[in-house]
Each structure stands twice: as structure tokens, then as C-alpha cells.
């Protein structure tokens, strides 16, 4: 007896879904902040199963998925960039069991060599496209040579950034002597580029315990009611910090700030 075509099609569809799920992700590309689709949903499913994510798969690679990926990368000594490329994908498939040790020279987690000076790149024509929203970067303080990791989470006139972890926040406070509006020369390492920048270490305009972009009162840093500028949770800082580049502007007046521009030139060796 012939089976109804609808049953046959349904069976084939189920087999296809199971096959795709078993493969975890079939793409040869990179999934990152802002990605959408079935591959993202499957990634979220894997992160849920491993305890790194605690919500239903949505198919959108947002801040929660980025944090989950970062947590997985930290645990398995992978390159911590919040993106799912070939090595992170392989680790997800094998649950980290067949990865080489962290000190293996073939792994992505080898120390980054940061030069003494960075490229002097204009924010509007170049730097903002190298350091895009959702990108994870390494910040190296020019004077102390201490480093920590951040993500660009907001900002158009300049980059608004947040530390990835509480440990990164501690390094920031070690460099600045606590939370501070002091401008310091830094080099940002992102996507194999080293760019001169200036940074302050005063979290502002957000609350760690509230959802990102929710309208809240009494935002950090003396900011009043407004959208909560805090995407990265559990990093022991409330809100964002400012990272400036050549010719980037302050939000309040859309003009470059001289002290930041002087620090950027210092970071560029000018």
C-alpha cells in the first residue's frame, strides 16, 4: 500500500532536521553578533545543552549568545572573540575533548604580540569599520602594557565598550587606579589590526542588573533616565566606557575632544 505523499514528505523533513542537528553547524563561514538563521538556532541549541545559554533558541546571534560563546571559549582555551569560526565549531562538536592543549603553538589562543604603537586611523572613514559593533578586542595600555578584553556594544560618534568579564574589569581598575575619567593612550587589537586609541575607565549610562536598552532611571555615572546601555552582564561594571579614535567625537557636542586626541597621537607614536 502506498503511503500518502504528505507522510513521506514529513518523514523526509524530520530526517533532514535530525541530520542537520547532528552536524551542529554546516556552514564554513563565521557566525557572530548580528547573524541570523537556522545555523544560529542550532548553535544556541548546542550552547543550551552544554549549560552556557538558558533560553529558547531564537535564531538571532545577540548579546546573550555572544556571552555564551565567550564563556565556552574561555573554558576550552580558545581564542576569545565571541565569534564561532572553525575551531570553536570543532570544540562544540567534540565538547572540547579532542582539542590540543592551551599551550600548543597550533591553537588560536597563543599570546598576541602588540606593537609599541598603533595605526593612526580616522574613526569615521576607517576605524569604525575595523572595530564593528559586536566585535571583541584586546586593549593594551601604552604606559603599563597591561591588557584586557572588551566588546564594542554601542556608539556611533566613538565606540562605547564593555569589559568581557569581571577579571577584565579588575585589570581596568589596576591600570586606572579605580574607575576614572582619565584619558589614557591605548592600542586596540582587533581583526589582526593594531590601532591607536584613547580610553576612559568610567562606566556610565547603564545598570548591569537590568536588560539592555530597557528604559531605566538613575543610570550609572550620574546619567538620568534613559535606555540602559549595558549588554555584557556579570562583568562587575555598570554601563559602558568610551573609546576614542582619530577625529572621533563626543556624544554631547559632536566634536573631537582635545585630550583624547592627544592620547591617540601618543598611542600612534606621533
Domain ranges of the chain: 5-94, 123-267
Q: Where are the alpha helices (DSSP H) in 76-165?
A: 86-94, 128-130
Per-residue pLDDT of 247-256, as tens digits, reads 999 999 999 9
**What length is written for the chain?**
270
How much is the pLDDT for 13? 41
Q: What 8-state DSSP symbol labels residue 158?
A: S
* Band (208; pLDDT cuts 50, 70, 90): very high
Q: What is the mean pLDDT of residues 126-155?
A: 95
What is 5-94's CATH superfamily? PGBD-like superfamily/PGBD (1.10.101.10)
Q: What is the C-alpha separation between 260 and 268, in angstroms, rounded?
A: 12
How much is the pLDDT for 110? 54
Q: What is the C-alpha separation between 138 and 151, in angstroms, rounded?
A: 9
Q: Is 119 helix (H, G, I), strand (E, B) or coil?
A: strand
Q: What is the C-alpha separation between 95 and 12, in angstroms, rounded?
A: 29
Number of neighbours of residue 216 by Cβ within 10 angstroms: 19
Rg (Cα) of the chain, in Å, rounded? 21
Amino acid at each position: 500500500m502506498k503511503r500518502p505523499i504528505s507522510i513521506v514528505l514529513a518523514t523526509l523533513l524530520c530526517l533532514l532536521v535530525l541530520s542537520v542537528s547532528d552536524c551542529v553547524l554546516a556552514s564554513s563561514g563565521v557566525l557572530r553578533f548580528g547573524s541570523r538563521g537556522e545555523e544560529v538556532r542550532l548553535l544556541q541549541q548546542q550552547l543550551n545543552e552544554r549549560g552556557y545559554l538558558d533560553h529558547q533558541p531564537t535564531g538571532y546571534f545577540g548579546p546573550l549568545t555572544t556571552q555564551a560563546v565567550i564563556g565556552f571559549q574561555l573554558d576550552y582555551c580558545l581564542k576569545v572573540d565571541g565569534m564561532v569560526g572553525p575551531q570553536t565549531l570543532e570544540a562544540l562538536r567534540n565538547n572540547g575533548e579532542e582539542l590540543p592543549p592551551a599551550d600548543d603553538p597550533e591553537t588560536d589562543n597563543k599570546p598576541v604580540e602588540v606593537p609599541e604603537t598603533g595605526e593612526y586611523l580616522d574613526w569615521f572613514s576607517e576605524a569604525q569599520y575595523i572595530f564593528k559593533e559586536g566585535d571583541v578586542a584586546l586593549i593594551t595600555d601604552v604606559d603599563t602594557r597591561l591588557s584586557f578584553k572588551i566588546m564594542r556594544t554601542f556608539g556611533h560618534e566613538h565606540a562605547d565598550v564593555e569589559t568581557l568579564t569581571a577579571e577584565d574589569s579588575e585589570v581596568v581598575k589596576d591600570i586606572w587606579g579605580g574607575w576614572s575619567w582619565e584619558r589614557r593612550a591605548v592600542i586596540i587589537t582587533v581583526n589582526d589590526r593594531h590601532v591607536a586609541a584613547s580610553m576612559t575607565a568610567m562606566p556610565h549610562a547603564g545598570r548591569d542588573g537590568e536588560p539592555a536598552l530597557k528604559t531605566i532611571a538613575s543610570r550609572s555615572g550620574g546619567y538620568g533616565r534613559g535606555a540602559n546601555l549595558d549588554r555584557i552582564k556579570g562583568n562587575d561594571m555598570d554601563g559602558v566606557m568610551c573609546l576614542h579614535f582619530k577625529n572621533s567625537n563626543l556624544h554631547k557636542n559632536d566634536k573631537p575632544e582635545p585630550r583624547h586626541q592627544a592620547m591617540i597621537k601618543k598611542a600612534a607614536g606621533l
